[in-house]
Amino acid sequence: MFNKIDHIGIAVKDLESANKMFGALSEIGLLKIEKVESEGVMTSFFKVGDTKIEFLQSLDPDNAISKFIEKNGEGLHHIAFEVEDIDNEIIRLKELGFEMINTQKKEGADNKYICFVHPRSTNRVLTELCQDKASPPAPLLQRGEN
């Protein structure tokens, strides 16, 4: 079950320029900058209420962010939802027929475990699930259990 929108991800070519633009636009200070080795990106976060805006700059010409920008240009990349138990959410969504990009959680930015639901399953919206690493894991659901 989704708890809230955790963040909205925006793909950019130049993180420094995007940070300056959004800071001026929103009058909100930069929360943090973080390199995410597993994804080959540099990220920055701004907090707007309970939701964060994440800018992503590729560090690898062959990763998902580079390919997204090459195909679509800069812009909205994904929406991320906080979940209490990412492992059970992956099982639940697969059982419902959603196509998962990641069938297992992995480490992401902002001290989170993450996974992605393919946009073919979600009306062309790349959907990220994220769980705080500090959250205790729940027992895995058995097939057919609710």
DSSP state of 121: G
Structural domains of the chain, count: 1
| Cβ atoms of residues 89 and 83 within 8 Å | yes
Quote the tokens at residue 74. 């800069």
Residue 40 pairs with which residues in a beta bridge? Answer: none
Q: Tell me, yes or no, whether 143 lies in a domain.
A: no
10 is in which domain, residue-wise? Answer: 2-132
Question: How confident is the model over 23-44, as pLDDT tens digits?
Answer: 999 999 999 999 999 899 999 9
Question: How confident is the model over 69-95, as pLDDT tens digits?
Answer: 999 999 999 999 999 999 999 999 999
Whichever domain contains 7, its CATH number is 3.10.180.10
